[in-house]
Amino acid sequence: MARRTSTRHTYRGESTSSGEAAPAGPARRARPRAGWGVPVLMATLALGAGTLFAGCQPFDGTPVGGGGAPAPTSSPTAGPTAPVTQTPTAGPGSPSPSAPPAPPVTATPSAGPSAPASPTTAPTAGPTTSASPGAPASQGPLPSWPRATADVDVSSTISVTGTFDGGLKRYSGVSDGGQEEGQDPIFEVADGGTVQNVIIGSPAADGIHCKGTCTLRNVWWEDVGEDAATFKGTSAAQTMTIDGGGARGASDKVFQHNGPGTMVIQNFQVQDFGKLYRSCGNCSKQYARHVVVRNVTVTAPGKTLVGVNTNYGDSAQLSGVTIVGDSSRKISICDRYTGNSSGSEPTKTGSGADGTYCRYTPSDIAYR
């Protein structure tokens, strides 16, 4: 029987098994062997596609574990915590740590409860003007009464323009020491003037008269005569300021307000008095008057701190007042009156804070 020689066809350009060149012409595809060609081809295509897909993935610089478990991806935590970065996965044979290392925190803080933000401004728990309820808004302890450096006998009123500095001399005279109305003052201060560092002794006459805006600084009345000082301004824009000093022994008023404008009494001390301030209740010409009392120490006995006329639109503002020796609280803080211009005795209509004519709160008055 004749022996058959098998000839295997290859792709163009390859030699045959017999060593002869393949005939020219279109190359014929070799038929894949039955049973294994298709699976191999599919596996090859899948491998190539996977390689191509992997090569197209963006590289984030994260090293891949060597042969061990695949590197875990980050999963969101249950709560709002700070973002973390991935850490390399341990290679094969590396011991598993008992606790994973803390993830590095980025510069952006978490807004969740794990990292509460501190407030930039701490809220205050109460009023800023006083440390505790009832404490006055004080500028510190007031000075003690000074000693006179010399005595000056005054036979007639001293007129002041500009600034008069008494050098803490004691001035007295002009009157017989009574407290009747209509006495002459020891000092009469022109609009814009200042009297400072003065002690007014006894007899004190009618103290000091201010004809307009004026300042009485560090003035001390040892024994008040008719009044310690009277504001006789001519304009609602004028202000009489009593800053520092003190007064005692006033059977009636310490400061009398006859003209329009505002009187300011601050850093002052008073003891043994009738009224610290009174808006004139029966002057022939009436005005709306205002008073500000702050950082004042009051020592009993005394009757009233301020008196205002509601029917003329007066007002009193008090703060930082300390009352000493009045455990029964007999000293009235603010009295309200109905004033008149006929010279009759004004009618008292009420006492205490009302938010309109008498303005203060319990924390503005302290007792000790």
SS3 277: strand
DSSP state, residue 134 = T
Rounded Cα distance between 244 and 142, Å, is 8
Q: What percent of the chain has pLDDT over 70?
A: 60
Q: According to the model, what pLDDT value does residue 130 have?
A: 33
Which sequence spans correspond to the domains of the chain?
163-367
Rounded Cα distance between 115 and 306, Å, is 56
CA dihedral 225, 229, 235, 240 (to 10 degrees): -170
- pLDDT tens-digit profile of 42-82? 544 444 444 434 444 444 444 444 444 444 444 444 444 44
Share the mean pLDDT of the chain.
76
The mean-pLDDT minimum among 7-16, 31-40, 284-293 falls in 7-16
CATH of region 163-367, choose from 1.10.3720.10, 2.160.20.10, 2.40.110.10, 3.40.1190.20: 2.160.20.10
Rounded Cα distance between 209 and 191, Å, is 11
Cα angle, residue 213 at apex, residues 207 and 214 outer, rounded to 5°: 45
| Contact residues for 226 (Cβ-Cβ < 8 A; gap 6+) | 178, 179, 180, 181, 182, 183, 205, 206, 207, 252
Q: According to the model, what pLDDT value does residue 175 have?
A: 73
SS3 311: helix
Rounded Cα distance between 233 and 201, Å, is 25
SS (H, E, C) 45-58: HHHHHHHHHHHHCC
State the pTM of this model.
0.63
Residue 190 has pLDDT above 60, yes or no: yes
Backbone angles phi, psi at 331, to 5 degrees: -70, 125
Q: Which two tokens stand for residue 161?
A: 């323009």
- Beta-strand ranges (E) seen in the chain are 151-154, 158-160, 163-173, 187-189, 193-200, 208-210, 214-221, 229-231, 239-243, 246-257, 261-279, 289-299, 304-309, 315-324, 332-338, 347-351, 358-359, 365-367
Half-sphere exposure of 80 (CA within 13 A, CB side): 8
Task: Provide the pLDDT confidence category of residue 132 given band limits of 50, 70 and 90.
Answer: very low
- pLDDT tens-digit profile of 223-264? 998 899 999 999 999 999 999 999 999 999 999 999 999 999
Rounded Cα distance between 150 and 164, Å, is 16
Residue 179 has pLDDT above 70, yes or no: no
